[in-house]
Copies of this chain bind each other. A is one copy, B any other.
Amino acid sequence: MEEVETTYRVSADTLRDFCTQVFMRLGVPEEDAQVTADVLVEADLRGVASHGVARLRRYVSGLQTGMMNPRPAVQVLVETPTTAALDADAGLGQPVSYRAMLMAIEKARELGVGLVTVRNSNHYGIAGYYAMMALEEDMIGMSMTNTDVLAVPTFGRDALLGTNPIAVAIPAGEELPYVLDMATTIVPRGKLEVYHRLGKKIPLGWATDEEGVATDDPGRVLHNLTHQLGGGLLPLGGEGELMGGHKGYGLALLVELLCGVLSGAAYMNLTYPKDEKGRPLPSNIGHIFGAVRIDAFMPVDEFKARMDDAIRRLHNSAKAKGQTRIWVHGEKEFEQTEQNLAAGVPLHFKVFNDLQAIAQELDVPFPFEAE
């Protein structure tokens, strides 16, 4: 959950429509534009502003430079009754991911389990969006992606791995579903940017300097990452092995192997690859999506009652000294969504201004007014 310096509150529906219009103006078909806009706005609703419309500029640039293909011909490279491998043809990450997750769900509906990889894709937004698609089908959903390299392996100096998120969604009955959506680094790059902006030091263990040693200076890490001077984010568990850093590294590597190596995408990818003439190349990011039908294991009602019981045991368990609540994963984001639906999606004034600039540049009507 990230802090947002709220300046404006806007309607989620209107924001979604605006983003859809922007994508369509850049040649993206309506259905794909709608899906992409929905994934972005969902991130803002859930309180993950770093993956919300604040990223619209990057998608606009990607589509304008040709790094992202507005009208990709998505190919099914190989398919079995339970699996498929797709090539996204360098299109936006969201529409192909939505389609891949639907395929996984359809395969699970037929045979119990579905698993679909995607290569040659782009940033797909929040991992949890796709995992959560399984919930209303009474399935367990899974989604992972590799990303631009930002994280160092244990004992390594150079960033070779992404923040490589893992998302799993599991339905409950009366309780909210379990929705894990976690980067395999301790924090995302955006967290360092926030600390840097505020002039604050970061806790030792979040990131390393250019020699691969833990540092508390976020500006140094960001500078080093931008110029590929060494160092980067540390995996969950931090520096070395004492606090389990090799486990977080193992999870980040797992995501890289499934989403990069197995899918046929790039792996341990260079950040923002360019051709010989310095033009941006498609980033060739890879994803994997999974769905598992719950009634392949036990009746859905029984399962949901057990989930409710497990969640309540956590809620009702004794709290650590000074603590008042034990959270189950996803609860914070569902509560944030309710608040933001009621009060409007919070947009930092810089994001608001950037959206307005995009509207002017692309001659798309801007539906919001500065107060």
Q: Give chain A's interface residues, CB within 8 Å of chain B.
A: 78, 80-83, 85, 111-115, 117, 140, 152-158, 160, 168, 170, 178, 180, 182, 186-187, 203, 205-206, 208, 211-213, 230, 236-238, 242-244, 246-248, 250-251, 253-254, 256-258, 260-264, 267-268, 292-294, 296-298, 303, 306-307, 310, 313-314, 317-321, 323, 325-329
A140 to chain B minimum Cβ distance, whole angstroms, is: 8
Asked if residues A294 and B262 are in contact (CB atoms below 8 Å), the reply is yes
Asked if residues A321 and B254 are in contact (CB atoms below 8 Å), the reply is no
A185 to chain B minimum Cβ distance, whole angstroms, is: 8
Given contacts A83-B112, A310-B257, contact A317 B157 (CB under 8 A): yes
Residue ID in chain B nearest A247 by CB atoms: B182
Asked if residues B242 and A203 are in contact (CB atoms below 8 Å), the reply is yes
| Most B Cβ at <10 Å: residue of A156, A230, A247, A306 | A247
Tell me which residues across on chain B come within 8 A of A186, comparing CB atoms.
Answer: 237, 243-244
Known: A83-B297, A236-B247, A263-B297. 11 other contacts (CB 8 A): A80-B296, A157-B319, A182-B244, A206-B243, A212-B318, A213-B320, A244-B248, A251-B251, A261-B303, A261-B306, A261-B310
A361 to chain B minimum Cβ distance, whole angstroms, is: 38
Residue ID in chain B nearest A330 by CB atoms: B250
A114 to chain B minimum Cβ distance, whole angstroms, is: 8
Complex CA–CA separation, A154 to B319 (angstroms) = 9
Number of this chain's copies in the assembly equals: 2
Complex CA–CA separation, A253 to B307 (angstroms) = 11
Tell me which residues across on chain B come within 8 A of A158, comparing CB atoms.
Answer: 317-318
Tell me which residues across on chain B come within 8 A of A327, comparing CB atoms.
Answer: 154-155, 246
Complex CA–CA separation, A296 to B247 (angstroms) = 28
Tell me which residues across on chain B come within 8 A of A258, comparing CB atoms.
Answer: 140
A-B contact pairs, 6 of them (CB 8 A): A80-B111, A140-B262, A155-B327, A157-B320, A211-B320, A237-B248
A175 to chain B minimum Cβ distance, whole angstroms, is: 12
Asked if residues A319 and B254 are in contact (CB atoms below 8 Å), the reply is no
Complex CA–CA separation, A292 to B261 (angstroms) = 14
A264 to chain B minimum Cβ distance, whole angstroms, is: 6
Tell me which residues across on chain B come within 8 A of A261, comparing CB atoms.
Answer: 303, 306-307, 310
Complex CA–CA separation, A264 to B153 (angstroms) = 37
Residue ID in chain B nearest A212 by CB atoms: B320
Complex CA–CA separation, A337 to B203 (angstroms) = 38
Asked if residues B156 and A326 are in contact (CB atoms below 8 Å), the reply is yes
Give which listed residue, B111, B206, B246, B325, contacts A81 with CB less than 8 A: B111
A67 to chain B minimum Cβ distance, whole angstroms, is: 23
Asked if residues B112 and A112 are in contact (CB atoms below 8 Å), the reply is no
Asked if residues B243 and A205 are in contact (CB atoms below 8 Å), the reply is yes
Asked if residues A264 and B298 are in contact (CB atoms below 8 Å), the reply is yes
Tell me which residues across on chain B come within 8 A of A154, comparing CB atoms.
Answer: 326-327
Complex CA–CA separation, A186 to B208 (angstroms) = 20
Residue ID in chain B nearest A294 by CB atoms: B262
A270 to chain B minimum Cβ distance, whole angstroms, is: 11
Complex CA–CA separation, A154 to B237 (angstroms) = 15
Complex CA–CA separation, A264 to B268 (angstroms) = 39
Asked if residues B244 and A236 are in contact (CB atoms below 8 Å), the reply is yes
Tell me which residues across on chain B come within 8 A of A297, comparing CB atoms.
Answer: 78, 83, 85, 117, 262-264
Complex CA–CA separation, A236 to B209 (angstroms) = 23
Residue ID in chain B nearest A314 by CB atoms: B153
Residue ID in chain B nearest A168 by CB atoms: B254
